[in-house]
Amino acid sequence: MSALVTAAEAAREALVADLTAYTQQETPSDDLDALAGGLAWVRAFVTRHLGAPDAERVIDAAPHGDVAVLDWAATGGGAGSVAILCHYDTVWPLGTLAEWPVTVDGDRLTGPGVFDMKAGLVQATHAIAIARAQGLPLPAIRLVLNGDEEIGSLGSRPHIEEAVTGRDAVLVFEASARGALKTARKGVGIFRVTTHGVEGHAGLDPERGVSAIDEMARVVLALHALADLGAGTSVNVGTVAGGSRSNVTAGRADALVDVRVTDVAESERIDAALAALEPHRAEATLDIAGGWNRPVMPRSASTVALFRIAEAVSAEQGWAVEEISVGGASDGNFAAALGLPVLDGLGAVGDGAHARHEWISIDGMVQRTALAAGILVRLGGGDAA
């Protein structure tokens, strides 16, 4: 085994202890007080392992969680610069730990947020510490901590884009996809469609009313017809609500729509189709709000080059890593849209994102910590694995 693998194995108990403590800091995206406490814990944890950053700033992204940007200069004679993206918010509401505590069962560690994505931050921090302890070259590292990723990074996006600009590479410690690293992600659009009709008595004046629900039903069929799974485009009307009573012709209906695309051409096709939607009845109206929440993260040549580094490091450490394209999006999409090389999925090996069976592999934590350390060393100009 390489020295990095040996060092990561020696850190096994610390990895578990740190992830347990981190998970016990509940950080739901919609609770600013909990997010502030969680971010304070994270900053203290990172500083304990890596020392005080050379520069640090916390950006108020209200009404969403704050964004923290921590910088360390290159060490061990390293060169270059890398941005590491992690989000500290989770989908789990405050109080979840009371009914679902952190539990270790053999190789599995379960708890709210361990897979998405608290294990990733713990692994990244230990990877840097391990490489430093061996005096290996590391690039300048910028750690970006985001508090609203799970709700679309609405407040953090401009700060993330600013933080990654000018970096040689961007590493995203979101969870892996069944162990595979993510070299491409779909773009995501979130749209709200509202139909307005004319209310009336459903029994006395059935011909005078204009049903917003009838209009919405037709819109839903039209939207679902836009999907082209062969081209990687999915369209999902996830929620529909409307009307007031069964005996009143519905005056309004609303729908939330999720769209995923693999390229810009498909997003433009969807935009054109949405703009062309018209109500069935002349007395009805139709409104569309929202837009593209995250741009496409394509499998670019520069991202493939990053994956090749990961592939080589894993092979020298005695195992194989694969790449995959996924439908989910991350903050890595923003960096990729700026033309930067992005390697995603460097976090946990496990399963169950946003689900009650969320879990991570402890062996996977050890393995991925060693992998991340090796990648960082390579990006810093070294050759250790």
Residues 137 and 48 in one domain: yes
Phi, psi of 247 (to 5 degrees): -100, 15
Per DSSP, 80 falls in state S
Residues 304 and 290 in one domain: no
C-alpha dist (Å) from residue 247 to 10, 37, 194, 197: 69, 50, 21, 15
**Residue 196, beta-bridge partner list:** 252, 285
Domain contains 222 = yes
DSSP codes of every residue in 81-118: EEEEEEE--BSPPTTHHHHS--EEETTEEE-TTIIIII
Does 385 map to a domain? no
Q: Which CATH number goes with the domain that contains 102?
A: 3.40.630.10
Handedness of CA 148, 153, 154, 159 (dihedral sign): positive
| Biggest distance spanned by C-alpha atoms of the chain | 84
Q: Which residues contact 111 (CB under 8 A, 6 or more apart)?
A: 20, 23, 97, 100, 101, 102, 103, 358
By the 8 A CB rule, do 146 and 120 touch?
no
233 contacts 271 by C-beta, under 8 angstroms: no
Which single residue is written with the structure tokens 């990723």?
149
Q: How far apart are CA 385 and CA 376, in angstroms?
A: 10
Final residue in a domain of this structure, among 294, 313, 329 = 294
Task: Please say whether the beta carbons of 340 and 43 come within 8 A.
Answer: no
Q: What number of other Cβ atoms are within 10 A of residue 261's Cβ?
A: 25
Q: Are 181 and 194 members of one domain?
A: no
Q: In the listed set 294, 316, 342, which residue is the last one of a domain according to the structure?
A: 294
DSSP 25: S
Enclosing domain of residue 33: 3-185+297-379
pLDDT of residue 383: 82
**CATH number of the domain to which 196 belongs:** 3.30.70.360
Q: Is residue 179 part of a domain?
A: yes
Per-residue pLDDT of the chain (385 residues; tens, 9 = 90+): 489 999 999 999 999 999 999 999 999 999 999 999 999 999 999 999 999 999 999 999 999 999 999 999 999 999 999 999 999 999 999 999 999 999 999 999 999 999 999 999 999 999 999 999 999 999 999 999 999 999 999 999 999 999 999 999 999 999 999 999 999 999 999 999 999 999 999 999 888 999 999 999 999 999 999 999 999 999 999 999 999 999 999 999 999 999 999 998 999 999 999 999 999 999 999 999 999 999 999 999 999 999 999 999 999 999 999 999 999 999 999 999 999 999 999 999 999 999 999 999 999 999 999 999 999 999 999 886 6
Residue 186, amino acid: K
> Residues 104, 39: one domain?
yes
Check whether residue 100 and residue 232 sit in a common domain.
no
173 and 209 inside one domain: no
**106 φ/ψ angles, rounded to the nearest 5 degrees:** 65, -120
User: Domains in the chain: how many in total?
Assistant: 2
Q: What phi-psi label fits residue 95: left (phi over 0), alpha (psi between -120 and 50 degrees) or beta? A: left
- Residue 281 falls inside a structural domain: yes
Question: Does any domain span residue 384?
Answer: no
Q: Do 157 and 34 fall within a single domain? A: yes
* Amino acid 14: pLDDT: 98
Q: SS3 of 342, please? A: strand
Domain assignment present for residue 11? The answer is yes
Could you tell me if 211 and 339 lie in one domain? no
In order of 187, 308, 317, 321, the CA distances from 313 in angstroms are: 29, 9, 6, 9
**Residues 165, 70: one domain?**
yes
Residues 68 and 154 in one domain: yes
Do 105 and 140 lie in one domain? The reply is yes
Burial class (CB in 10 A: 0-12, 13-18, 19+), 301: exposed
User: Does residue 268 fall inside a structural domain?
Assistant: yes
Last residue of a domain, one of 246, 268, 294: 294
What is the per-residue pLDDT for 86? 98
- On whether both 178 and 142 belong to a single domain, the answer is yes
Which residue intervals of the chain are DSSP H helices? Answer: 3-10, 12-23, 32-50, 96-99, 119-133, 157-164, 212-224, 264-276, 301-316, 332-337, 362-379
pLDDT at 2: 86
Nearest by Cα to 25 from 11, 36, 13, 9:
36
Q: Do the beta carbons of residue 210 and residue 255 sit within 8 Å?
A: no
**Residue 63 domain flag:** yes
